[in-house]
Amino acid sequence: MNCHWVKEKIFPYLDGEVTAEERGKIEAHLASCQSCAEELACFKNIRTTAHTLDELKPSDYFEMRLKRRLQVTPKSSVWSFLWKRRLAWAAALPVLVILSFIIFRSSSSKPMPSLQVEADYYYLETESESPDIQYVVEKELSNGSNQVLIVPVLSYADKSY
């Protein structure tokens, strides 16, 4: 067992990521090698001191400011969401027109799906980048097609204590 091997293992040892066998070898070496023992003691002391660093506090007005900001209901969200993506919508429009024409032709005899939101919707992984939109929900309708719902953010002001 040499110092080089122990020094390589010193961080995994410190992090508790060595096997029982390795730990035994390291500790046996530390008992007889002052240099390695001092090095480990230094890392341990740094860690102990880091654990006890003072907890710092934001200003006294932090929570008041936070509440005030949360009570501002976001501006009409759906329209700003759509507006910010106007180019994308413009590009998609011809495709949508053609698609809806095809769908209409193929399904004109079937009843239209209900537009009610049910509780069994699931969330898409995608998080909205708009600060006003909490998430986009995709709901599978009984006929197998998907309905996309845009859900605005929760408003702190709407809720009572």
State how far the alpha carbon of 103 is from the alpha carbons of 38, 90, 140, 142, in Å. 76, 20, 17, 16
Exactly one of 3, 66, 102, 154 binds Zn ion (CB under 5 A); which one?
Answer: 3
Residue 10: half-sphere exposure toward Cβ, Cα within 13 Å? 19
How far apart are CB 109 and other proteins at their closest, in Å? 38
Among 31, 32, 54, 112, binds other proteins (CB under 8 A): 54
Question: Could you say whether residue 55 binds other proteins (CB under 8 A)?
Answer: yes
Check residue 149 and report its DSSP letter: E
Where do we find the tokens 């010193």? 10
Using CB under 5 A, count the residues that bind Zn ion: 3
Between CA 65 and CA 146 the distance in angstroms is 41
Return the percent helix, strand and coil in the chain, to nearest 5: 55, 15, 35
Q: Residue 64, interface with other proteins (CB under 8 A)? A: no
Of the listed pieces 35-43, 62-70, 98-106, 107-115, which binds Zn ion according to CB under 5 A? 35-43
CB-nearer residue toward other proteins: 113 or 135: 135
Interface positions with other proteins (CB under 8 A): 11, 15, 35, 38-39, 41-43, 45-47, 49-59, 62-63, 65-66, 69-70, 123, 127, 131, 134-135, 153-154, 156, 158-161
